A and B are shown apart, each in its own frame.
Chain A
Amino acid sequence: MRVPITALAALALTSAAAAAPIRVGDTLTPFTLKDASGKQVSLASIKASGGVVLIFMATRCPVSNAYNQRMAALTQDYAGKGVTVIGINSNRQEDAAEIVQHAKEHGLSFPILKDTGNVEADAFGAQVTPEAFVFDPSWKLRYHGRIDDNQRGDNIHSQDLRAAIDAVLAGQAVPVPETKAFGCTIKRVAP
Protein backbone atom coordinates (compact mmCIF):
# COMPACT_ATOMS: atom_id res chain seq x y z
CA MET A 1 0.00 0.00 0.00
CA ARG A 2 1.28 3.44 -0.90
CA VAL A 3 0.69 6.43 1.29
CA PRO A 4 2.22 9.87 1.40
CA ILE A 5 5.39 10.14 3.44
CA THR A 6 3.75 12.58 5.82
CA ALA A 7 0.89 10.14 6.27
CA LEU A 8 3.45 7.41 7.05
CA ALA A 9 4.82 9.57 9.81
CA ALA A 10 1.36 10.08 11.15
CA LEU A 11 0.76 6.33 10.98
CA ALA A 12 3.08 5.92 13.92
CA LEU A 13 0.65 7.97 15.96
CA THR A 14 -2.68 6.70 14.77
CA SER A 15 -3.85 3.98 12.45
CA ALA A 16 -6.66 6.20 11.23
CA ALA A 17 -4.12 8.30 9.36
CA ALA A 18 -3.46 5.47 6.90
CA ALA A 19 -6.69 6.21 5.06
CA ALA A 20 -6.06 9.93 4.75
CA PRO A 21 -5.65 11.07 1.16
CA ILE A 22 -2.68 13.15 0.13
CA ARG A 23 -2.97 16.87 0.83
CA VAL A 24 -1.27 19.95 -0.48
CA GLY A 25 2.16 20.09 1.16
CA ASP A 26 2.44 16.29 1.49
CA THR A 27 5.20 14.44 -0.32
CA LEU A 28 4.19 11.58 -2.57
CA THR A 29 5.97 8.26 -2.59
CA PRO A 30 6.20 7.67 -6.35
CA PHE A 31 4.20 4.62 -7.42
CA THR A 32 4.19 2.27 -10.38
CA LEU A 33 1.19 1.50 -12.56
CA LYS A 34 0.68 0.00 -15.98
CA ASP A 35 -0.13 2.41 -18.75
CA ALA A 36 -3.00 1.69 -21.10
CA SER A 37 -0.73 -0.32 -23.40
CA GLY A 38 0.29 -2.58 -20.53
CA LYS A 39 3.76 -1.12 -19.96
CA GLN A 40 4.84 -0.56 -16.36
CA VAL A 41 5.40 3.12 -15.64
CA SER A 42 7.36 4.04 -12.53
CA LEU A 43 6.94 7.63 -11.45
CA ALA A 44 10.31 7.37 -9.72
CA SER A 45 11.97 6.93 -13.11
CA ILE A 46 10.53 10.14 -14.51
CA LYS A 47 13.06 12.91 -14.87
CA ALA A 48 10.82 15.93 -14.66
CA SER A 49 12.91 18.92 -13.70
CA GLY A 50 9.83 21.14 -13.80
CA GLY A 51 7.52 18.83 -11.91
CA VAL A 52 4.77 16.35 -12.70
CA VAL A 53 1.09 16.95 -13.40
CA LEU A 54 -1.23 14.02 -12.71
CA ILE A 55 -4.75 14.32 -14.09
CA PHE A 56 -7.53 11.90 -13.24
CA MET A 57 -9.49 11.64 -16.44
CA ALA A 58 -12.05 9.55 -18.26
CA THR A 59 -13.02 8.35 -21.70
CA ARG A 60 -16.79 8.69 -21.34
CA CYS A 61 -17.17 11.75 -19.12
CA PRO A 62 -18.34 14.77 -21.13
CA VAL A 63 -16.60 17.14 -18.74
CA SER A 64 -13.28 15.34 -19.01
CA ASN A 65 -13.70 15.10 -22.76
CA ALA A 66 -14.34 18.82 -22.96
CA TYR A 67 -10.79 19.23 -21.67
CA ASN A 68 -9.07 16.84 -24.12
CA GLN A 69 -7.72 19.60 -26.33
CA ARG A 70 -6.67 21.67 -23.34
CA MET A 71 -4.84 18.71 -21.79
CA ALA A 72 -3.06 18.03 -25.08
CA ALA A 73 -2.09 21.69 -25.40
CA LEU A 74 -0.87 21.78 -21.81
CA THR A 75 1.38 18.80 -22.46
CA GLN A 76 2.90 20.46 -25.53
CA ASP A 77 3.24 23.88 -23.96
CA TYR A 78 5.16 22.64 -20.92
CA ALA A 79 7.16 19.73 -22.36
CA GLY A 80 10.06 22.06 -23.17
CA LYS A 81 10.05 23.33 -19.59
CA GLY A 82 10.63 19.94 -18.01
CA VAL A 83 7.03 19.35 -16.92
CA THR A 84 5.61 15.86 -17.43
CA VAL A 85 1.86 15.34 -17.77
CA ILE A 86 0.41 11.94 -16.89
CA GLY A 87 -3.22 10.88 -17.04
CA ILE A 88 -4.80 8.36 -14.68
CA ASN A 89 -7.99 6.50 -15.46
CA SER A 90 -9.62 4.95 -12.39
CA ASN A 91 -13.08 4.31 -13.80
CA ARG A 92 -14.05 0.67 -13.39
CA GLN A 93 -15.93 0.46 -16.69
CA GLU A 94 -13.22 2.01 -18.90
CA ASP A 95 -10.65 -0.64 -19.82
CA ALA A 96 -7.15 -0.30 -21.27
CA ALA A 97 -8.23 -0.88 -24.87
CA GLU A 98 -10.83 1.87 -24.58
CA ILE A 99 -8.26 4.24 -23.08
CA VAL A 100 -5.80 3.59 -25.92
CA GLN A 101 -8.47 4.15 -28.55
CA HIS A 102 -9.73 7.29 -26.84
CA ALA A 103 -6.23 8.76 -26.60
CA LYS A 104 -5.61 8.04 -30.28
CA GLU A 105 -8.88 9.64 -31.33
CA HIS A 106 -8.29 12.78 -29.29
CA GLY A 107 -4.57 13.29 -29.85
CA LEU A 108 -3.59 12.68 -26.23
CA SER A 109 0.12 11.93 -26.47
CA PHE A 110 0.90 11.80 -22.75
CA PRO A 111 0.93 8.45 -20.90
CA ILE A 112 -2.37 7.41 -19.35
CA LEU A 113 -2.13 4.95 -16.47
CA LYS A 114 -4.85 2.44 -15.67
CA ASP A 115 -5.66 2.53 -11.97
CA THR A 116 -7.28 -0.86 -11.55
CA GLY A 117 -9.36 -1.03 -8.40
CA ASN A 118 -9.11 2.78 -7.97
CA VAL A 119 -6.20 2.35 -5.55
CA GLU A 120 -4.59 5.64 -6.58
CA ALA A 121 -7.90 7.51 -6.76
CA ASP A 122 -8.42 6.53 -3.13
CA ALA A 123 -4.86 7.45 -2.13
CA PHE A 124 -5.25 10.83 -3.80
CA GLY A 125 -8.79 11.38 -2.59
CA ALA A 126 -9.73 12.07 -6.21
CA GLN A 127 -13.47 12.40 -6.71
CA VAL A 128 -14.15 13.67 -10.19
CA THR A 129 -12.81 13.79 -13.73
CA PRO A 130 -10.95 15.83 -14.64
CA GLU A 131 -9.08 16.51 -11.41
CA ALA A 132 -5.45 17.65 -11.41
CA PHE A 133 -2.55 17.30 -8.98
CA VAL A 134 0.71 19.22 -9.46
CA PHE A 135 3.91 17.95 -7.87
CA ASP A 136 7.20 19.79 -7.76
CA PRO A 137 10.43 17.93 -8.66
CA SER A 138 10.75 16.67 -5.07
CA TRP A 139 7.22 15.17 -5.32
CA LYS A 140 5.67 17.64 -2.93
CA LEU A 141 2.00 18.26 -3.81
CA ARG A 142 1.67 21.92 -4.70
CA TYR A 143 -1.77 22.11 -6.33
CA HIS A 144 -4.98 20.10 -6.34
CA GLY A 145 -8.13 20.93 -8.24
CA ARG A 146 -9.59 22.02 -11.52
CA ILE A 147 -7.84 22.70 -14.82
CA ASP A 148 -9.59 26.03 -15.27
CA ASP A 149 -12.89 27.63 -14.37
CA ASN A 150 -14.88 26.95 -17.53
CA GLN A 151 -15.83 23.49 -18.76
CA ARG A 152 -16.65 24.59 -22.28
CA GLY A 153 -13.46 26.57 -22.64
CA ASP A 154 -15.08 29.61 -24.18
CA ASN A 155 -15.14 31.90 -21.16
CA ILE A 156 -12.13 31.09 -19.00
CA HIS A 157 -11.30 33.61 -16.30
CA SER A 158 -8.90 31.56 -14.21
CA GLN A 159 -6.23 29.21 -15.59
CA ASP A 160 -5.68 27.57 -12.23
CA LEU A 161 -3.60 24.59 -13.35
CA ARG A 162 -1.32 26.63 -15.60
CA ALA A 163 -0.88 29.21 -12.85
CA ALA A 164 0.16 26.46 -10.45
CA ILE A 165 2.65 24.97 -12.90
CA ASP A 166 4.08 28.40 -13.65
CA ALA A 167 4.52 29.06 -9.94
CA VAL A 168 6.33 25.76 -9.42
CA LEU A 169 8.59 26.50 -12.38
CA ALA A 170 9.33 29.94 -10.97
CA GLY A 171 10.03 28.55 -7.51
CA GLN A 172 7.16 30.56 -6.09
CA ALA A 173 4.15 29.74 -3.93
CA VAL A 174 1.12 28.56 -5.90
CA PRO A 175 -1.36 31.44 -5.75
CA VAL A 176 -4.44 29.25 -5.18
CA PRO A 177 -3.29 25.76 -4.17
CA GLU A 178 -6.75 24.16 -3.97
CA THR A 179 -9.82 24.66 -6.15
CA LYS A 180 -13.09 22.86 -6.81
CA ALA A 181 -15.14 22.22 -9.91
CA PHE A 182 -18.01 20.11 -11.09
CA GLY A 183 -17.02 16.88 -12.78
CA CYS A 184 -18.09 13.30 -13.39
CA THR A 185 -17.82 11.03 -10.40
CA ILE A 186 -15.00 8.49 -10.58
CA LYS A 187 -16.70 5.12 -10.94
CA ARG A 188 -15.06 3.05 -8.23
CA VAL A 189 -15.24 -0.68 -7.67
CA ALA A 190 -17.61 -1.77 -4.92
CA PRO A 191 -15.89 -1.49 -1.52
Chain B
Amino acid sequence: MTGLLLAAVLAGELDAAGVHRAVEARRGRPVLLSFWATWCEPCLEEFPVLVELARQHPEWSLLSVSIDDAEGRAAVESFVTKQRPPFPVFLKRPGADEAFIDGVDRDWSGVVPALIAFDRAGRRLALLAGEHTRGEIESALSRADP
Protein backbone atom coordinates (compact mmCIF):
# COMPACT_ATOMS: atom_id res chain seq x y z
CA MET B 1 0.00 0.00 0.00
CA THR B 2 2.81 2.37 0.92
CA GLY B 3 4.53 1.58 -2.36
CA LEU B 4 1.38 2.38 -4.32
CA LEU B 5 1.03 5.68 -2.49
CA LEU B 6 4.69 6.51 -3.08
CA ALA B 7 4.28 5.83 -6.77
CA ALA B 8 1.17 7.97 -6.93
CA VAL B 9 2.29 10.97 -4.88
CA LEU B 10 6.07 11.10 -5.03
CA ALA B 11 8.40 10.89 -7.99
CA GLY B 12 10.92 8.61 -6.33
CA GLU B 13 14.15 8.86 -4.35
CA LEU B 14 17.27 10.78 -5.29
CA ASP B 15 20.81 10.80 -4.02
CA ALA B 16 23.07 13.78 -4.79
CA ALA B 17 24.09 12.41 -8.19
CA GLY B 18 20.44 11.83 -8.99
CA VAL B 19 19.66 15.43 -8.12
CA HIS B 20 22.28 16.62 -10.59
CA ARG B 21 20.95 14.27 -13.27
CA ALA B 22 17.42 15.57 -12.71
CA VAL B 23 18.60 19.16 -13.12
CA GLU B 24 20.60 18.24 -16.21
CA ALA B 25 17.55 16.56 -17.73
CA ARG B 26 15.75 19.90 -17.56
CA ARG B 27 18.46 21.83 -19.42
CA GLY B 28 16.95 24.40 -21.75
CA ARG B 29 14.62 25.75 -19.08
CA PRO B 30 15.35 27.73 -15.93
CA VAL B 31 15.29 25.32 -13.00
CA LEU B 32 14.43 25.93 -9.37
CA LEU B 33 15.52 23.13 -7.08
CA SER B 34 13.88 23.10 -3.66
CA PHE B 35 14.95 21.21 -0.53
CA TRP B 36 12.56 21.00 2.39
CA ALA B 37 11.28 18.82 5.21
CA THR B 38 7.96 18.29 6.93
CA TRP B 39 9.56 19.12 10.31
CA CYS B 40 10.65 22.52 8.98
CA GLU B 41 8.01 25.17 9.62
CA PRO B 42 9.38 27.76 7.15
CA CYS B 43 9.53 25.01 4.51
CA LEU B 44 5.83 24.31 4.92
CA GLU B 45 5.14 28.02 4.54
CA GLU B 46 7.34 28.25 1.46
CA PHE B 47 5.93 25.22 -0.35
CA PRO B 48 2.56 26.82 -1.30
CA VAL B 49 4.48 29.83 -2.62
CA LEU B 50 6.44 27.51 -4.91
CA VAL B 51 3.19 25.87 -6.03
CA GLU B 52 1.79 29.30 -6.95
CA LEU B 53 4.97 30.34 -8.74
CA ALA B 54 5.02 27.10 -10.72
CA ARG B 55 1.44 27.66 -11.86
CA GLN B 56 2.12 31.27 -12.81
CA HIS B 57 5.39 30.51 -14.58
CA PRO B 58 5.03 27.26 -16.52
CA GLU B 59 8.21 28.22 -18.39
CA TRP B 60 10.17 27.50 -15.20
CA SER B 61 10.93 23.94 -14.19
CA LEU B 62 10.58 23.29 -10.49
CA LEU B 63 11.95 20.26 -8.76
CA SER B 64 11.40 19.49 -5.11
CA VAL B 65 13.33 17.16 -2.80
CA SER B 66 12.18 16.33 0.71
CA ILE B 67 15.01 15.49 3.08
CA ASP B 68 12.71 13.72 5.52
CA ASP B 69 14.00 10.34 6.57
CA ALA B 70 12.13 7.06 6.13
CA GLU B 71 10.01 7.65 9.22
CA GLY B 72 8.80 10.95 7.75
CA ARG B 73 7.69 9.49 4.43
CA ALA B 74 4.00 9.28 5.33
CA ALA B 75 4.01 12.92 6.44
CA VAL B 76 5.60 13.92 3.12
CA GLU B 77 2.99 12.02 1.15
CA SER B 78 0.17 13.54 3.14
CA PHE B 79 1.49 17.08 2.74
CA VAL B 80 2.18 16.73 -0.96
CA THR B 81 -1.26 15.20 -1.56
CA LYS B 82 -2.87 18.27 -0.02
CA GLN B 83 -0.64 20.75 -1.86
CA ARG B 84 -1.07 19.16 -5.33
CA PRO B 85 2.14 20.71 -6.72
CA PRO B 86 2.46 20.88 -10.53
CA PHE B 87 6.06 19.74 -10.18
CA PRO B 88 7.69 16.47 -9.12
CA VAL B 89 8.51 15.88 -5.48
CA PHE B 90 11.27 13.41 -4.63
CA LEU B 91 12.55 12.01 -1.38
CA LYS B 92 16.20 12.09 -0.45
CA ARG B 93 17.50 8.56 -0.79
CA PRO B 94 18.49 7.14 2.62
CA GLY B 95 22.17 7.74 3.28
CA ALA B 96 24.60 10.05 5.02
CA ASP B 97 23.27 13.60 5.24
CA GLU B 98 26.65 15.30 4.92
CA ALA B 99 27.53 13.40 1.74
CA PHE B 100 24.18 14.43 0.27
CA ILE B 101 24.59 18.10 1.26
CA ASP B 102 28.11 18.38 -0.12
CA GLY B 103 27.22 16.27 -3.14
CA VAL B 104 24.43 18.65 -4.07
CA ASP B 105 26.35 21.87 -3.39
CA ARG B 106 29.43 22.44 -1.24
CA ASP B 107 28.24 25.97 -0.46
CA TRP B 108 25.07 24.63 1.14
CA SER B 109 25.22 24.41 4.94
CA GLY B 110 22.36 21.94 5.15
CA VAL B 111 19.85 24.52 6.28
CA VAL B 112 16.32 24.10 4.96
CA PRO B 113 14.45 25.48 3.22
CA ALA B 114 17.05 25.82 0.51
CA LEU B 115 16.54 26.81 -3.11
CA ILE B 116 19.03 26.57 -5.94
CA ALA B 117 18.32 28.36 -9.21
CA PHE B 118 19.89 27.25 -12.50
CA ASP B 119 19.78 29.03 -15.84
CA ARG B 120 18.85 27.40 -19.15
CA ALA B 121 22.42 26.17 -19.60
CA GLY B 122 22.37 24.44 -16.22
CA ARG B 123 24.62 26.98 -14.53
CA ARG B 124 23.90 27.60 -10.88
CA LEU B 125 22.88 31.22 -10.46
CA ALA B 126 21.73 31.43 -6.86
CA LEU B 127 21.63 29.49 -3.63
CA LEU B 128 18.91 30.77 -1.30
CA ALA B 129 19.49 29.10 2.05
CA GLY B 130 16.93 29.64 4.80
CA GLU B 131 13.78 31.72 4.75
CA HIS B 132 13.22 33.93 1.71
CA THR B 133 10.34 36.06 0.54
CA ARG B 134 8.35 35.36 -2.58
CA GLY B 135 9.98 38.45 -4.12
CA GLU B 136 13.48 37.12 -3.47
CA ILE B 137 12.59 33.77 -5.02
CA GLU B 138 11.05 35.44 -8.07
CA SER B 139 14.08 37.66 -8.41
CA ALA B 140 16.42 34.65 -8.42
CA LEU B 141 14.36 32.93 -11.08
CA SER B 142 14.04 36.07 -13.14
CA ARG B 143 17.81 36.19 -13.34
CA ALA B 144 17.74 32.61 -14.59
CA ASP B 145 15.18 33.56 -17.22
CA PRO B 146 16.00 37.14 -18.27
Residues of A within 8 A of B (CB): 60-63, 127-128, 146, 149, 151-152, 179-188
Nearest neighbor of B68 in chain A, beta-carbon distance: A182
> Which chain B residue has the least Cβ–Cβ distance from A65?
B39
Asked if B113 and A180 make an inter-chain contact with CB atoms under 8 angstroms apart, the answer reads: no
Taking a contact as CB atoms under 8 Å apart, the answer to whether A180 and B69 are in contact is: no
| B-chain residues with CB within 8 Å of residue A186 when the two chains form the complex | 130
Within 96-113 of B, Cβ neighbours of A (below 8 Å) are at 96-98, 101-102, 109-113
Closest A residue, CB atoms, query B37: A182
Residues of chain B with a CB closer than 8 A to A151's CB? 69
At the interface, yes or no: B85 with Cβ under 8 Å from chain A? no
- Listed by A's residue number, 6 A-B pairs whose Cβ atoms lie within 8 Å are A62-B39, A180-B110, A182-B37, A183-B110, A184-B112, A185-B113
When the two chains form their complex, are residues A184 and B98 in contact, meaning their CB atoms are under 8 A apart? no
How far does the Cβ of B36 sit from chain A's closest Cβ, in whole Å? 11
Contacts of B101 in A (CB 8 A): 180-182
Residues from chain A with Cβ under 8 Å of B129 in the complex: 127, 185
Give the residues in chain A near B110, CB-CB below 8 Å: 127-128, 180-183
Q: How far is the CB of B13 from chain A (nearest CB, A)?
A: 16
User: B109: which of A60, A127, A149, A184 is its contact (CB, 8 Å)?
Assistant: A127
| Cβ-based interface call for B42 (8 A) | yes
Q: Once the chains bind, are B39 and A128 in contact (CB under 8 Å)?
A: no
What is the bound-complex CA distance between A152 and B110, given in angstroms? 17
* Shortest CB distance A134–B (Å): 17
**Interface residues as binary, B64-104 with A (CB distance below 8 Å gives 1, 0 otherwise):** 00010101000000000000000000000000111001100
> Which of A127, A180, A184, A188 sits near B97, CB closer than 8 Å?
A180
Q: Which residue of A127, A149, A152, A179 is within 8 Å of B111 (Cβ)?
A: A127
Q: Are B41 and A60 in contact (CB under 8 A)?
A: yes
Interface pairs A-B: 3 shortest CB-CB: A62-B39, A127-B111, A185-B130
Cβ of B40 within 8 Å of any chain A Cβ, yes or no, is yes
B residues 35-66 touching A (CB-CB < 8 Å): 37, 39-42
B24 within 8 A of A: no
CB distance from A182 to the nearest CB of B (A): 5
- Most chain A CB neighbours (cut-off 10 Å) among B37, B110, B129, B130: B110
C-alpha spacing A185/B45, complex, angstroms: 13
A149 and B113 within 8 A (CB): no
Given A180-B109, A181-B98, 17 further pairs, Cβ under 8 A: A60-B41, A128-B109, A128-B110, A146-B98, A149-B96, A152-B69, A180-B102, A182-B101, A183-B111, A184-B40, A185-B40, A185-B112, A185-B113, A185-B129, A186-B130, A187-B42, A188-B131
